[in-house]
Structure 1
Amino acid sequence: MLTSKNNRLALYVSAGVIIVLILFAFLRDNSEAITLSEATMILKEKSVKKVVVSKEYVYLKTDDGYFKIASSQVTPKMFVDYKVEVGNDSNILVYILFIVVILGLGSLLLRIWQKKEGITLSTKGISGDIPLGSSQEGISSIKSTNSDVSFDDIGGISDVKIELEEIIDFMKNPKRYKSFGARMPRGVLLVGPPGVGKTMIAKAVAHAAEVPFYYQSGASFVQIYVGMGAKRVHDLFSAAKKNAPSIIFIDEIDAVGKKRGGERNDEREATLNQLLTEMDGFEGSSGVIVVAATNKIEVLDSALLRAGRFDRRVFVELPTKRERESILMKYLAKIPHELDVKVVANMTVGFNGASLAALVNEAALLSLRQNDFHMTIEHFHQVRDKVMYGKKKLKMLNDKQKAYRITYQAAKVSIATYFDLPFEKLMLSNEKLTPSSDEPFIKEELEFRLKMLLAGMAACDIKYGEHSSSAVNDLSDAKEIVSKMCRDYGMGSSLIPSSDEERTILERQYNEAKELLVAMSGVIKAVEEILLERESITKESVKKLIDEIL
C-alpha cells in the first residue's frame, strides 16, 4: 500500500510525463518531406487546401496529409493560384507550456529544499512536515516511521493478535467494510502492566497494515506554556491525516488523559480537551486509528473512554507458562544453548516480556564471561534474582549471623518445597524466595505462602530463641497478605473482619509453621549443611531430602 508521500511523488511524475508528451505532440513535425517534382504534381492536381511558408520549409496541406519541401527549392510563381500564409515559429502555446514546466520543476525543487532545511509553511499552502513545539524548543518535525516489528517477533500474544487482526484487515481493505455499512474503530486502548509489550504490539499492527506509524508519549504533550500541549496534539493529528491511512500511538496516555476536576491544571485539561476534539473530528474516511497504552485505566477521564473515541479495549496480561515458553523461544533462537525451555518458563512465574528478554541477555552475558560455549539452566539460576530484584551483595556476616541466616533460609526453602511453591533455587543472599503475584489464589494457597514467609522466624526462634532483623521483608509481606485476606477477599472468620482478626490469622499460621518445622527437623538440618558448604540449594535437591528423611 502506497503512503501519501509516494502518492504525491507519483502525481508529480505523472504530471511531468503528461507535459512532456503534450510538448512533444505540439513540437513534433508530422509532415512528410517531398521532392520538387512531387510538389509540382500536387499543385497541378489542385488538391492543395492550404500553403504555409516558414523560414526553412513550405508546407502543403491536402486531404491526404501534410507535405513539406525546402523553401530554397520553390519559386513564388508556383503558388500564384494559392493564398500563402506565413508560419510563426514562436507559437505562444509552446511558451505557455515551457512556463508550466519551469514552474513545476521550481516548486518541486523548493519542496525538496524545504524538507532538507526543516522549513515549513502553513497547511493551507505548500508544506513540508508539520512543526512540533515552539520556537524555544527549536524547529522539529513530526515524522512517521515504518515499523519493522512484526507479530512473528512477539511471542505469547495470540489472543491479542486475534483482537487486532480485524483492524489490520480494515486498514488494508476498507471498501469491504464500508460496503457493508461498518466503520473503522477510531481508537484502541491497550491496557496492561508495564513490560508486557504494548508498544511492540502497536508497532506490529502498523507493520502488518503497512501504514505510517506516529509515536508520541503522553508526557510529551505536557507543556509549561499554556496552549502548547494542545498545539502538539493538533499537529500530530494533522500530520497523521495528511498521510492517511496511518496509526497514531500514544504511550502512557494517562499522563495527559487523567480525570478532570479536583486539582487545577489548565494546561493539562486544555491538552485533554484538544485530544477529545481531535478524536471526535475524525471522519469515517479519515483512515487514522489512535492506539493508546496505559497501565492505569482507572485514572483515565470518562470522556476519553466512551464509545466513539476508544471503541475497543484490549487487555494485555502477564504471560502464562505457555506464553512464556513462546517468548523465550523467540529470544533463544539465535543463542547457542542446552536448555529445556519449559524448565525456564516454570522458574519465571510473574515475569513479563521485558523481564524475560533481560533474563536471557543476562544469562548469555554470564555464559560469555565464564567462557562457556552454551547457555545452561545453571546460568539462568544465577541471574534470575539479579533480574527480579537487582544485584545485591551479601553483607559480611560473622559466624553467628551466618548461622542465623542459614537456619532462616533452610526453613523457608524446606516449607516452600513441602507445599510446592513456585521457585527453582535458593541462594543464601536471596531476599525473596518466590515472586509476588496477583494471580487468583484460594485460601489454602495463601496460607501456604504465609507459612513460608514466617518459617524463617519460627526456625530461628526454635533453635536460638530469637530471630534477626533480616525478617523485616518477609514479615511485611505476610502482614500484607493477611490484610488482603481479611479486608479484600473475605477469608476471615466473617465477611466483615473484627479488629483482631488479622493478628489471630498471623499467629495461627506462625504456630502451624513451627509445628511443621519440628516435624521436618531432619530435613532442615540436612539443608543447613548444604547451605553452609555451597551457599545455595535447588528445589530438586530439597525434594530428594524430604523423600528420603520424611
Structure 2
Amino acid sequence: MSVPKQDTPQGQGRKPKQFNILYIYLLIALGVVGILFFYQGGNPVETSWQEVQLQMLPQGYITKMVGVRNKGIVEIYLSQEGIRHFEKRLGGRKGYDAEHPPFYLTIGSFDAFEQQLRDAQKDLPKDKQIYPSYIERPDYLGGILTWVVPFALLIALYLFMMRRMGRGGGAGGGANIFNIGKSKAQLFSKEGYVQVDFSDVAGLEEAKVEVREIVDFLKNPKKYTELGGKIPKGALLVGPPGTGKTLLAKAVAGEANVPFFSLSGSDFVEMFVGVGASRVRDLFKTAKEKAPCIIFIDEIDAIGRSRSKNVGFSSSEERENTLNQLLTEMDGFSTNQGVIILAATNRADILDGALLRAGRFDRQIHVELPDYQERLEIFRVHLKPLKLHPEFDPTFLAKQTPGFSGADIANVCNEAALIAARKDKTEVEKQDFLDAIDRIVGGLERKSKILTPQEKEKVAYHEAGHATVSWLLEHASPLLKVSIIPRGRSLGAAWYVPEERQLTTVEQMFEEMCALMGGRAAEDVVFGEVSTGALNDLERVNKMAYGMVAYYGMAEGLENACYFDSTGQSEFNFAKPYSEQTAQRIDAAVAALRDRAYNKAKEILTAHRDGLDRLANRLLTDEVIFADDLEAIYGPRKGETREEMLQSSLKQEAKDEEQAKVEEEGKKAE
C-alpha cells in the first residue's frame, strides 16, 4: 500500500467550478431589497401635528389634506413654495406633485383631528382654511404579498430540499427527487484528476501481476478478441482492512487510462423500495456508454451477502432485489464490451455463491498483509515526506512491525512525526518510531493511572512470567520488550516479534499457549493466588485451544475432525454441525490442552524462580526491559532467531543467483 504521488502540477486534480443558480436568486433578492429600502424617491415623510400647526398652516403652504381611513393617516400636499421651504426636511428628494404628497400625519381618531384642525385655523381667513377629504385606499400590493410570499417560501423550501436529496454526484446525479434512482458512482477520468499507477503501490507484487492482465486487455483488446479469448468480467480483491485493495483498483484504472467508476456497496441502499436495483441499472447503462471502463464497488458485502434460505427470518427483500439486479447486469452485457468490474471486501466468506460463479467474479485476488520485504518498501514510500536523520535505517521498522497493514504503517510514520514535533525536534528519530509503535499497539500511556505497590508488584511478576516462559520455549514468539507502564486498558504489556510462518505445528501452537499462560502461572507460583489481569490471555488461549481441537484436528481422539465452515452458512443455523457427545469431547479436549499449557508454564517458572525474581525486580526498578536484559539473566535463546533466519534466507538466495549466472555463462560458452 502507498499514497498517490506528491508532486502534482498546480491546478491539476481540481474539478472545474460549476455555475450555481443560487447566485441568480441572490441577485434578485438584493435588487428587490434595494428598490424597497434604498430608493425612496417620491415617498412621503412622516411629520408631526406641531409642525403642521406652527409652520405649514400659518404660512399657507398646505394645498390640501386627504385622510386615508383604512390606514389611519392624513396625506399633506404642499405648494411648490412649501416644498422648497422643506427641501432639507425632505432630504433633497424630488418627485412630489399633486399626486405624490411630501408629508403624512399619523392620527388616532379622525374626529379628534378635525377638531384640532378647526381650532388651529379659527384665526385664519376663510379662503386660506383647509378642509380635509377622506378616501378608502385598498392595499393591493400588501394583499398580494400576503398570499404570494408564503407560497413562494414553501416552493423555495421544496426546491432546496429536492436539490439536497438529489445531489449525489457521479454519473447521472440529479437535482430532484425524481433522480433518486440514478447511480451515485463517482467518475474518475484521466483529465483533471490526480492519477495513481502501479509505481505508486508499494508491495502487493503478486496482486499486481494478477491485475496486469486486466490492464493489458483494456489497452489491447484486439490481441485477445482476435484469438477468440474472453477476459474475465470481474475480479474480487479479498484481504484484511488497510492492505491497499482500493488503491490497487485505482492503480488499475490509472495504468489502463480508462474511465473509473467508484462507489461503495452501501451507495445502492436507500430508504425507498426499488432504488437499489434502479441504481444498479443506471450504473451499468452509464458504464456501457463510457466503455472501455472499470466499475469498482468497494465493500461489496453490503449488498452481496449470501441470500438466506429462511426468507421470513433473516432476509432483507430490498437488499436481495439489489443483488439480483447486480447478478443480472453482470451476466447481461457482452464479454468484449470493455466493461470490467472490480470489487473489494474483507468478508469473502459471506458473499453469495452466485456472485462468485464463472461469468461474474471469475477470479479472486488475495491482497494479504505485507511480509518483511513489502513492509520495507511501504515504509520507504511513507518516509519520503518526513525529515529524517541522514543515517536513519528503515529496516528495523520493517522487522518490528509484523502483521501491520499498509494503513498501519502510514499511521506509524504519521504518529512518529507528531511525537517528534511535540518534543520540538528538528528531525524524526528512531525512538520516535518506537514510541509510535508502542502507542498504536498498546495504546496511549496513562500516567494518571496510579497503582499501589502491591498491584505494581503483581503486574511486574505477571509480565515477567510471560517473558520468562516465551524466552525459555524454543517455538514461542521471540520477545522484544516488556513494560509495566499502563497503556490503554492494560496495566502492562509484552511486545513480541512473531515468526511469519506459513504453517504452524502442534508444538508451536502449544508453546504459544504456554507463553500466554505464563502471566497467571507466575502469580500462582509467587503469591499463591491469581488476579483478573489475565483476562485477555485466557481469551486468546481458549480460542487457540478451540481452533486446535475443532478446526485443525490436533486433539487426541479428534485427530482428523474439522468443523470449520468456510462458506459462512453456519451463521444461519441454530444447531451445531456435531452431536452433543462430540461437543462434550471437544470441551474436554480444550480443557485438557488449557490445563496442560498452564502446568507446563508453572513447571518452567518454578524451575527458574531465581531468574523470575531478578526479572521482576528489574521491571519494578526500570519499568521497561528489553531482550538484552533477558539474555543477561537466562542466556541466549534456544533456536534460530528471526534475524538469523532472514540472513540465512538472503544468503541462500544469493547463492542461487550466483549458481544461475554460472549455468547461464556455461550455456553461452557452449
TM-score of the two chains, using structure 2 as the length reference: 0.59
C-alpha distance in structure 2 between counterparts of 1:180 and 1:540, whole Å: 64
Residue 346 of structure 1: aligned partner? 399
Residue 604 of structure 2: aligned partner? 516
Cα distance change on mapping 1:505 and 1:285 into 2, 3 Å: closer
C-alpha distance in structure 1 between counterparts of 2:616 and 2:295, whole Å: 57
* Aligned residues of 1:233 and 1:271 also touching (Cα < 8 A): yes
**Residue 560 of structure 2 corresponds to residue 486 of structure 1:** no
C-alpha distance in structure 2 between counterparts of 1:409 and 1:129, whole Å: 57
Cα distance change on mapping 1:385 and 1:161 into 2, 3 Å: same
C-alpha distance in structure 1 between counterparts of 2:245 and 2:586, whole Å: 42
**From 227, 236, 260, the counterpart of 1:213:** 260
- Read off the aligned partner of 2:623 and give its amino acid letter: E
Cα distance change on mapping 1:228 and 1:498 into 2, 3 Å: closer
**From 391, 409, 414, the counterpart of 1:361:** 414
2:304 aligned counterpart, secondary structure = coil
**Residue 188 of structure 2 corresponds to residue 188 of structure 1:** no
- Read off the aligned partner of 1:397 and give its amino acid letter: L
Cα distance change on mapping 1:371 and 1:484 into 2, 3 Å: same
Cα deviation, 1:402-454, whole Å, max 9, x if unaligned, reads 11111111111222233451452222134564489996421111122111111
Residue 144 of structure 1: aligned partner? 187
Residue 31 of structure 1: aligned partner? none
C-alpha distance in structure 1 between counterparts of 2:455 and 2:221, whole Å: 70
Give how far 1:136 is off. 7.8
Cα deviation, 1:173-217, whole Å, max 9, x if unaligned, reads 111111121122211111111111100110010111011111111
1:256 aligned counterpart, secondary structure = helix
Give how far 1:137 is off. 8.4
- Read off the aligned partner of 1:199 and give its amino acid letter: T
Residue 306 of structure 1: aligned partner? 357
C-alpha distance in structure 2 between counterparts of 1:404 and 1:381, whole Å: 26
Within a 5 Å distance, the mapping from 1:328-339 to structure 2 comes to 328-335=379-386, 336-337=388-389, 338-339=391-392
Within a 5 Å distance, the mapping from 1:453-532 to structure 2 comes to 453-494=516-557, 495=559, 497=585, 499-532=587-620
2:295 aligned counterpart, secondary structure = strand
C-alpha distance in structure 2 between counterparts of 1:451 and 1:248, whole Å: 49
**Residue 328 of structure 2 corresponds to residue 277 of structure 1:** yes
Residue 630 of structure 2: aligned partner? 542
* Aligned residues of 2:233 and 2:340 also touching (Cα < 8 A): yes
Cα distance change on mapping 1:368 and 1:171 into 2, 3 Å: same
* Aligned residues of 1:131 and 1:235 also touching (Cα < 8 A): no
* Aligned residues of 1:230 and 1:271 also touching (Cα < 8 A): yes
Residue 291 of structure 1: aligned partner? 342
- Read off the aligned partner of 1:313 and give its amino acid letter: Q
Cα distance change on mapping 1:181 and 1:317 into 2, 3 Å: same
* Aligned residues of 1:196 and 1:352 also touching (Cα < 8 A): yes
**Residue 489 of structure 2 corresponds to residue 401 of structure 1:** no
Residue 98 of structure 2: aligned partner? none
* Aligned residues of 2:482 and 2:494 also touching (Cα < 8 A): no
* Aligned residues of 1:410 and 1:527 also touching (Cα < 8 A): yes
* Aligned residues of 1:187 and 1:289 also touching (Cα < 8 A): yes
Within a 5 Å distance, the mapping from 1:10-159 to structure 2 comes to 129-131=171-173, 135=177, 142-146=185-189, 148-159=195-206
- Read off the aligned partner of 1:381 and give its amino acid letter: L
**From 147, 168, 176, the counterpart of 2:215:** 168
C-alpha distance in structure 1 between counterparts of 2:275 and 2:327, whole Å: 16
Cα deviation, 1:65-114, whole Å, max 9, x if unaligned, reads xxxxxxxxxxxxxxxxxxxxxxxxxxxxxxxxxxxxxxxxxxxxxxxxxx
- Read off the aligned partner of 2:454 and give its amino acid letter: K
* Aligned residues of 1:347 and 1:422 also touching (Cα < 8 A): no
C-alpha distance in structure 2 between counterparts of 1:545 and 1:168, whole Å: 57
C-alpha distance in structure 2 between counterparts of 1:286 and 1:191, whole Å: 25
* Aligned residues of 2:183 and 2:282 also touching (Cα < 8 A): no
C-alpha distance in structure 1 between counterparts of 2:477 and 2:421, whole Å: 32
- Read off the aligned partner of 1:467 and give its amino acid letter: V
1:161 aligned counterpart, secondary structure = helix
Cα distance change on mapping 1:361 and 1:453 into 2, 3 Å: same
Cα distance change on mapping 1:499 and 1:301 into 2, 3 Å: closer
Give how far 1:243 is off. 1.6
Residue 14 of structure 1: aligned partner? none
C-alpha distance in structure 2 between counterparts of 1:132 and 1:270, whole Å: 23
**Aligned residues between the structures:** 426
**Residue 374 of structure 2 corresponds to residue 323 of structure 1:** yes
Residue 387 of structure 1: aligned partner? 440
* Aligned residues of 1:211 and 1:246 also touching (Cα < 8 A): yes
Where does structure 2 lack aligned partners over 5 or more consecutive residues?
1-162, 164-169, 487-491, 562-584, 639-670
Residue 480 of structure 2: aligned partner? 424
Cα distance change on mapping 1:254 and 1:470 into 2, 3 Å: same
C-alpha distance in structure 2 between counterparts of 1:518 and 1:136, whole Å: 76
Where does structure 1 lack aligned partners over 5 or more consecutive residues?
1-117, 119-127
After TM superposition, the structure 1 stretch with the greater mean CA deviation from structure 2, 511-520 or 334-343, is 334-343
* Aligned residues of 2:258 and 2:294 also touching (Cα < 8 A): yes
Give how far 1:522 is off. 3.2
* Aligned residues of 1:186 and 1:282 also touching (Cα < 8 A): no
- Read off the aligned partner of 2:403 and give its amino acid letter: G
RMSD: 2.8
* Aligned residues of 1:454 and 1:510 also touching (Cα < 8 A): yes
**Residue 448 of structure 2 corresponds to residue 448 of structure 1:** no
Give how far 1:389 is off. 4.8
1:131 aligned counterpart, secondary structure = coil
* Sequence identity percentage: 38
